[in-house]
Structure 1
């Protein structure tokens, strides 16, 4: 299985690094939501989780996806091949369909009790910013290999497109997890096409129906298509995290690594109440 991808590593990764550095500076200057915990503590915790997860992404997930695409391409297998589309159409449709399959994967992470155990490590962060974008349990990255590989093979996505899409995927993940305040009028238009920080902030709310919305990664169309879009929550009313995991002491790297293997708590605050919210606007209306 091929592991080295010169263009991905020498062009894609530096571009992602530059984008991350820019977002890191911008979210410090233009903060969207107030922090609840010291930033250095969270950077240490989240980087510890990422230190295990990112190598799995680069050395297992990326090569696995590329290998699935290459095998399908060699055997002329997959939907896009069977349709006999010209190359430009295969690349365009392939990019869109890759994003759609990742929307479905994100929904599955929330619906499957087993997968949620691992994805919950990402969600119990008590703040949301750029560092959260890479706070994924290594088990979640490993579990995504067969799903994403199978989706790529069934679609017959061109192998080079897999690497290009992954760079855009990671860049957009960093963007919409960031705590950067965009001008409201700009973001209101932008979220009609792609996932934005305000949109994804709602996904990290402690209110269950808000967490179970806004699953898209790059294009926001998929949430509109499946009626899982929710924009009508003011950012200053959002409490980030999961209600049953509010203790900062449980953010230690050891606890986060072991958490999927422990009994998961019900969706309620320590006092037994379930967070709710009344909404007065259309779900499709982005609020400041």
Structure 2
């Protein structure tokens, strides 16, 4: 199994670091949603969780995905070799299929209890900003290896494309988790193609029908295709997090690492009520400021 990816490590990783810092500065200057916790406190919490998750991403997930794609290429297995597309079209199709497979993985994280236990660590963050983009339980990254590796083999995507896609996957994840207020008209145009901060903010709402929407990672096509798109929710009306996990004292790194192995709480607020949106569903309505 290959573990060294020089271009990803010497070019991609520094670019991702620069992007993260830039988004951190921009979201501080142009806030989309008002934070509920001190910034430095959250950065420390999320960085502590990410300190375990990111090495698993780089040292286990990426090599496994690359190895699966190499195996598929060697044996001419999977969908794309069967289609015999020209090189440039094969790469475009492969990139889109990789993104679609991650849409499906994200849906599974929400639908299967055993996966949600780990993904919930990401969702119970009481604020949403660029640091949330790396706040994933190490168990979730490990659990993603069999599914995403199988997708590499089934799709037959070129191995080099896997590394390129992972760079854009991480860059777009940082972008749409950021708390950066883009000009509304610009975001209205962007969301027709790619996931934006306002769109993904809805996905982190304590309202269940909103959390279970907007699963796309890079392209918004997949939510439109599966009718899981939700845009018509004002950002000022969104409460970030999961309703049963509102206690600031539970946001410690040690507690978050233990969360998947505890009994999961019902989707209710501490007072026993279920968060709901009074207005009609906005699945087919435009993005609101």
Counterpart CA distance in 1 for 2:249 and 2:102 is 32
Counterpart CA distance in 2 for 1:279 and 1:9 is 47
Counterpart CA distance in 2 for 1:164 and 1:215 is 21
1:5 and 2:5 are equivalent in the alignment: yes
Counterpart CA distance in 1 for 2:222 and 2:88 is 22
Q: Tell me how far 1:279 sits from its aligned partner.
A: 2.2
Q: 8 Å contact 2:91–2:161 — kept in the other structure?
A: yes
1:261 and 2:261 are equivalent in the alignment: yes
Alpha-carbon distance change, 271 to 282 in structure 1, aligned in 2, over 3 angstroms: closer
Counterpart CA distance in 2 for 1:258 and 1:244 is 16
**Residue equivalent to 1:133:** 133
Q: 8 Å contact 1:232–1:279 — kept in the other structure?
A: no
Q: What is the CA deviation profile of residues 130-149 of structure 1, one whole-angstrom value per residue up to 9, with x for unaligned ones?
A: 00000000000000001111
**Residue equivalent to 2:92:** 92
Q: Tell me how far 1:21 sits from its aligned partner.
A: 1.2
Counterpart CA distance in 2 for 1:281 and 1:231 is 9
Counterpart CA distance in 1 for 2:281 and 2:158 is 42
Give unpaired runs (5+ residues) of structure 1. Answer: none
Counterpart CA distance in 2 for 1:69 and 1:10 is 22
**Residue equivalent to 1:286:** 287
Q: Tell me how far 1:278 sits from its aligned partner.
A: 2.0
1:42 and 2:42 are equivalent in the alignment: yes
Q: 8 Å contact 1:57–1:141 — kept in the other structure?
A: yes
Q: TM-score, normalised by structure 2?
A: 0.98
Counterpart CA distance in 2 for 1:4 and 1:282 is 45
Q: Tell me how far 1:280 sits from its aligned partner.
A: 4.3
CA RMSD of aligned residues (A): 0.8
Q: What is the CA deviation profile of residues 90-128 of structure 1, one whole-angstrom value per residue up to 9, with x for unaligned ones?
A: 101000000000000000000000000000000000000
SS of residue in 2 equivalent to 1:268: coil
Q: Tell me how far 1:282 sits from its aligned partner.
A: 4.0
